[in-house]
C-alpha cells in the first residue's frame, strides 16, 4: 500500500511475508509527516509481524521530529516483542542517527541484506533472509 502524505512528497510502501514486514519510506521525513509516519508504523506493529524492517534508503531528509517518531515506534515494537531494525545508506539519515548515538536503539544497518542477516542470526527469523 502506498500513499502520499499531506503537504509532502513522502510516501510509504509496505510489503511483507509471514516472517517480516518491510516498511519503506520515500522522500523527505520532515515535521509535516512525522505524526503520520508514527501512526503508520503503529498500524504495522498492531498487525504483529515477526520482524519489522524500516527501510529509509530512499529518504533524503529526516527531521528531529521524524527521528522521535522512529524511536517511539521502535520502542513500541520492542515492547511488543517484535524485532525492529532500520536500514539506510543515506548520509542525511545515518549522520544524525549516529551523531546522536541512536544507532544502537534504532539498530541501524546499511542495506536490507545486512538487516535481514542480523534478524536471522539474532532472532531466528529465517524467512527474512530467504532461508529456512
Residues with Cβ < 8 Å from 15, sequence gap 6 or more?
A: 21, 22, 24
Residue range 115-130, pLDDT digits in tens: 999 999 988 775 544 4
Backbone CA torsion sign across 100, 12, 74, 55: negative
* Burial per residue of 115-130, b for 16 or more beta-carbon CB atoms within 10 angstroms, e otherwise: bbebbbeebebebbbe
Residues across the chain: 132
Radius of gyration of the chain (CA): 14
Q: What CATH number is attached to the domain comprising 51?
A: 3.30.750.24
Residue range 72-108, pLDDT digits in tens: 999 999 999 999 999 999 999 999 999 999 999 999 9
Is residue 13 within 8 A of residue 1, CB to CB? The reply is: yes
The β-bridge partners of 4 are 11
What is the count of structural domains for the chain? Answer: 1
Structural domain span for residue 103: 2-129
- Claim: this prediction has a pTM higher than 0.95: no
Amino acid at each position: 500500500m502506498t500513499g502520499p502524505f499531506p503537504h509532502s512528497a513522502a510516501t510509504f510502501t509496505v510489503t511483507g511475508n509471514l516472517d517480516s514486514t518491510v516498511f519503506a519510506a520515500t522522500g523527505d521525513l520532515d515535521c509535516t509527516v512525522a505524526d503520520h509516519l508514527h501512526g503508520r508504523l503503529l498500524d504495522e506493529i498492531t498487525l504483529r509481524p515477526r520482524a519489522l524492517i524500516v527501510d529509509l534508503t530512499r529518504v533524503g531528509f529526516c527531521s528531529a521530529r521524524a527521528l522521535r517518531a522512529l524511536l517511539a515506534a521502535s520502542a513500541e515494537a520492542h515492547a511488543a516483542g517484535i524485532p525492529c531494525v532500520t536500514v539506510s545508506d543515506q548520509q542525511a539519515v545515518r549522520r544524525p542517527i549516529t551523531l546522536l548515538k541512536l544507532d544502537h536503539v534504532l539498530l541501524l544497518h546499511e542495506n536490507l541484506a545486512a538487516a535481514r542477516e542480523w534478524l536471522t542470526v539474532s532472532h531466528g527469523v529465517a524467512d527474512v533472509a530467504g532461508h529456512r
